[in-house]
Amino acid sequence: MTGAPDTEPVTVVVVHRNRAEQIGRTVETFRSQTVPTQVTVVDNGSEASTAGALTDLVGEAELIITGRNLGFGPGANVGMRRFLRRGTGQWVALAPHDAVPNPDTIEKMLAAVADKPRVGLMSADVGDNARPIIQPFLGSIDAAPTATRGFDPSDYPHGTLMMCRRSFLLEVGLFDERYFAYCEEAELGIRAARAGWLCGVVRGAEVRNPGMSSSVERVAYLQLRNTLLMLREHFGVTNSLFRIAVALVQIPVGVVHPPARGLHWSIRGRLLAIWDHLRGRYGPPPARISSKEHPHGRTRC
């Protein structure tokens, strides 16, 4: 493939925490893209044993040490602010520390929107044959794709590998940091649409997310709490109350018939999410949320 629309290097922001065995591979896959890239690793408060090795692990990539776990959205904002102040080019890519794109993924993404100047957000194809949309009473759900190749319009981008246009960020802004992690992409997609910007998934621009670890309870908590925040602020109190009712109904149903892929099923996490939403507590999850880790990929809210 030739003729990428932007000749300046694409800034790639990789948000990292405690994954020494993965970060080097991820950096290398982004440095080896078929278009020029500049990789920035934002370390979100890794433990000393990992942080001390990061300089060698990331090689020539720029390394920003935050000193604490800011969350995915706020950590990505650190890198995006750096891009807006000092970076070159029109696009910045965002990914977690275990994203593995194909060598031509970013080139395919850029080519797919070369004639679409109002596309402000886009994401790579994670291979799930689904299109992320937002249902005003439920939050983020999957819909059938409308394209098998190229640009497929969606309500928001996947967080495994997404790209943001500079002019879009300057107009609409960065991630809402109250979300900490999960649903920040969906909330940004809502703001994009209301400002007249487009979003989509680029079919055929592939990225894999082999899996990272996070607490089941923590993910359940953040997904529901942040969904409720998003629905209330963008669609109204009635919508968020409806979603609370759905969540409460799902609890006894889930006890009797646990989800087949119930990696993020936690009754306690859901109840704490509802409680904290009702009292307006956002940002990092509270200390009482379990940090016991289980394997999973970056899922949607």
Looking at the structure, tell me whether residues 232 and 197 fall in a common domain: no
Beta bridge partners, 42, equal 15, 64
Looking at the structure, tell me whether residues 217 and 203 fall in a common domain: no
Looking at the structure, tell me whether residues 40 and 60 fall in a common domain: yes
Looking at the structure, tell me whether residues 227 and 195 fall in a common domain: no
The CATH number of the domain holding residue 29 is: 3.90.550.10
Residue corresponding to tokens 């591979």? 25
Closest C-alpha to 296, from 179, 142, 159, 156: 159
Looking at the structure, tell me whether residues 189 and 219 fall in a common domain: no
| Count: domains in the chain | 2
pLDDT given at position 296: 41
Domain-embedded: residue 174 = yes
Looking at the structure, tell me whether residues 87 and 228 fall in a common domain: no
Structural domain span for residue 176: 10-208
Looking at the structure, tell me whether residues 127 and 233 fall in a common domain: no
Burial 68-99 (b: 16+ CB within 10 A, else e): ebbbbbbbbbbbbebbeeebebbbbbbbbbbb
Looking at the structure, tell me whether residues 203 and 254 fall in a common domain: no
pLDDT given at position 221: 94
Domain-embedded: residue 161 = yes
pLDDT given at position 257: 54
Looking at the structure, tell me whether residues 80 and 123 fall in a common domain: yes
Domain-embedded: residue 170 = yes
pLDDT given at position 295: 43
Beta bridge partners, 153, equal 200
Residue corresponding to tokens 């109904």? 249
pLDDT given at position 3: 42
pLDDT given at position 5: 52
Domain-embedded: residue 194 = yes
Domain-embedded: residue 117 = yes
pLDDT given at position 143: 96
Among 189, 208, 227, identify where a domain stops: 208
Looking at the structure, tell me whether residues 291 and 182 fall in a common domain: no
Among 178, 208, 238, identify where a domain stops: 208
Looking at the structure, tell me whether residues 56 and 171 fall in a common domain: yes
Looking at the structure, tell me whether residues 218 and 83 fall in a common domain: no
Domain-embedded: residue 4 = no
Q: What is the pTM of this model?
A: 0.91
pLDDT given at position 128: 92
Is there a contact between 189 and 234 (Cβ–Cβ < 8 Å)? no
Ranges of residues in the chain with a pLDDT under 70 are 1-6, 211-214, 253-265, 290-301
Among 208, 227, 257, identify where a domain stops: 208
pLDDT given at position 101: 97
